[in-house]
Amino acid sequence: MGVAVDFDQYKCINFDEGQQIFTDGDDGDHALVIVDGIVEVWINSNGERISLQTLGAGDIVGEMALIDEMPRTASVTALTPVTATVITREAMSERMHAADPALELILRSLIERFRRATSRIDEGKRGVHEDVRRRILQASKLQAELMVALTESQFEMHYQPIVSLVDGSVMGFEALIRWRKEGRLVAPFEFIPMLESSGLIVPVGRWLIGEACAALSRIQAGFGDGRARFMSVNVSGIQLDDPELLGVVRTAIAENKLEKGQLKIELTETMLMKDADATAARLQAFCDEGATVAIDDFGTGYSSLAYLHRFPLHTLKIDRSFVDGCENDAQMLQIVRSISTLAQTLGLNIVAEGIENKQQATVLAALGCDYGQGWLYAKAMPEAELGDYLRDDHAND
């Protein structure tokens, strides 16, 4: 037998002529895309083999198993030697979850109706699984609500101070989005993933860059000590692909008369590494407009350290999971020390995220971290509260 069943995605497998590939009633967890050869799809009706169709190169067979968990409804036999690639349900469901929830609903409903029309499933087993339906419904509802949130301006920006670890003075801010929904503030983790998967993060991102830069300009004008502070904004992967983003950055800097380095773009390690050459070129274009780039949540991704110098980076933000415990856990301390050394070697300034107590601040300052951000200093707050925060002199608290 020439079968080399390896269900890794896109692996080719071979079947001999006459070999049964799928059997009616079996549990299915994968489909096959026929690369070469011909298969017959057939059913057994009262002992009689009834041929439903023959399929060849470029056709998919067994695809219903990708969408639902019902047994196979027909058998498939190779009529010639066959080569095929495998698509697993696991791989497909990952992609389906990342896609528009309506797409998943359409696919599941089509399969369900087809199965019902051909009456080849038990009465009791019919229906899109209840928890799947509930999940799709919730996702569709959230997506619709976010669309309304965008058109009705329900998003607002809060700003968290970033301070000098040397003297505690406020050096800049990170803009963090909030959703004001029926009077309640919704945290980003509840809606950012949906903004990203639906693509809504693109218009929201364009808006928030302008908004954050305008806020910085107002805060500076209102406070008036002449020191140019920076504003860090988070940018998601799909925003980097937005052809208008560069223009948005240019306009935001120009309209608010920001100096070089006052707008900082935060990207995670994973985003940098995805398409390194193209990303490096895009980031350079932002720098040419006067922005700087920070690598966010550093230490949580899988960046190849050898690659980092290829990007026009200015700042490295040490993830708060390493800051948490660095004051009493030798291992954490060692990690922070290594990251700091790396940043210093690359000439990057360092922001330590999530500082919650003074001991952490002291340790981090001793390791050479320039800036700190965390609840020890302040939580993110609306623009209206920042003036007061800046006026209460926090330096050397």
Give the residue with the Cβ less far from ligand C2E, 367 or 380: 380
CA distance 188 to 210: 19
* Contact flags string 348-377 toward Ca ion, x per CB under 5 A: -----x------------------------
Smallest gap from Cβ 12 to ligand C2E, in A, equals 39
CA angle 158, 155, 172 (to 5 degrees): 25
**Is residue 360 close enough to count as binding ligand C2E by CB under 6 A?**
no
**Is residue 5 close enough to count as binding ligand C2E by CB under 6 A?**
no
Smallest gap from Cβ 26 to ligand C2E, in A, equals 44
Question: How many Å is the Cα radius of gyration of the chain?
Answer: 28
- Asked whether the beta carbons of 196 and 238 are under 8 A apart, the reply is yes
CA distance 50 to 231: 69
CA distances (Å), 139 to each of 86, 101, 104, 119, 345, in order? 29, 6, 11, 30, 45
CA distance 13 to 255: 59
Residues in contact with 110: Cβ distance below 8 Å, sequence separation at least 6, in sequence order: none
* Contact flags string 211-250 toward ligand C2E, x per CB under 6 A: -----------------------x-x--------------
**Is residue 296 close enough to count as binding Ca ion by CB under 5 A?**
yes
**Is residue 356 close enough to count as binding ligand C2E by CB under 6 A?**
yes
CA distance 239 to 205: 7
Per the listing, tokens 């096959």 go with 32
The residue from 208, 245, 271, 291 that contacts ligand C2E (CB under 6 A) is 208
Smallest gap from Cβ 136 to ligand C2E, in A, equals 24
Give the residue with the Cβ less far from ligand C2E, 363 or 380: 380
Give the residue with the Cβ less far from ligand C2E, 189 or 302: 189
What is the contact surface with Ca ion in residues (CB under 5 A)?
234, 266, 296-297, 353
What is the contact surface with ligand C2E in residues (CB under 6 A)?
160, 175-177, 187-189, 192, 201, 208, 234, 236, 296-297, 320, 354-356, 373-375, 380
